[in-house]
Homo-oligomer: A and B are copies of this chain.
Amino acid sequence: MKGEQTRQRILDSATELFWARNYHGVSVADVAEVASVNKATLYQYFQSKDVLVQSVVSSSREWTVEHIFDSAFADSKDPMIRLRCIYKRVHVFHQCIFESHNEVRGCPFVNIAMELAVDNELVRMQVVKTFEQFSEYYRTIVRDYRGKRIAKTKVDRLVRALLGNMNGAMVASRYERRPDAILDALPIAELLVKS
């Protein structure tokens, strides 16, 4: 009971820190301090820093699916509105963080993957799976908008383009420290779906 809360606090702290900063730049001690637990306690819940990031990626994925994609899909059945909702939700979220913490974090999956793609095969694979899951939402949008006639290969290409568009925008938002970079990419996404 209490343990579960502690575990969650650690996970949340780690998520925040790895996302806001990066993996190597955040020490286990940092995570423990933010979570207000002893380092040893952290290690009772997560066997290693490695396991901790993996858990962070997992929980971030769940969070994103629920609060971005599923929410956007719940808002409307119209594919174009759904697409807009996705971008707007992402944007609003980053805007809030920017205003409250003066940070621009970008995409947690892109960030961690770029840093750990070589060092940590498990994390890399988790990110692959994550983006595949996200792609399914884009696929539904494309299919619903275009109808059955559109060829599967074309759908695949568009889905990939949509994912790249979002990731490119997330990257820009981080290096420009500008959440609006996300919004800038919305018209391009719309254009792609219509193309």
Contact = CB atoms under 8 A, between A and B. Distances in A.
Interface in A119-148: 119, 124, 127-128, 131
Given A114-B115, A115-B114, A195-B191, A172 B185 contact: no
A67 interface: no
28 contacts: A21-B118, A21-B119, A22-B24, A22-B115, A22-B116, A22-B118, A23-B24, A24-B115, A103-B118, A106-B117, A111-B114, A113-B171, A113-B174, A114-B171, A114-B174, A117-B175, A117-B177, A128-B176, A131-B175, A160-B185, A161-B165, A164-B164, A164-B169, A164-B171, A164-B185, A165-B168, A188-B192, A191-B195
Contacts of A68: none
Q: Is the interface of A mostly helix, strand, loop or mixed?
A: helix
Contacts of A103: 118
Given A127-B175, A131-B172, A171-B171, 12 more contacts: A110-B171, A110-B175, A113-B171, A115-B115, A131-B175, A160-B172, A160-B184, A161-B185, A163-B172, A164-B168, A165-B165, A191-B192
A58 to B, nearest CB: 16
Contacts of A21: 118-119
A139 to B, nearest CB: 16
B118 A114 contact: no
A110 B114 contact: yes
A167 interface: yes
Interface residues of A, number: 45
A80 interface: no
Nearest to A120: B25
Interface of A: 20-25, 103-104, 106, 110-111, 113-119, 124, 127-128, 131, 157, 160-161, 163-169, 171-172, 174-177, 184-185, 187-188, 191-192, 195
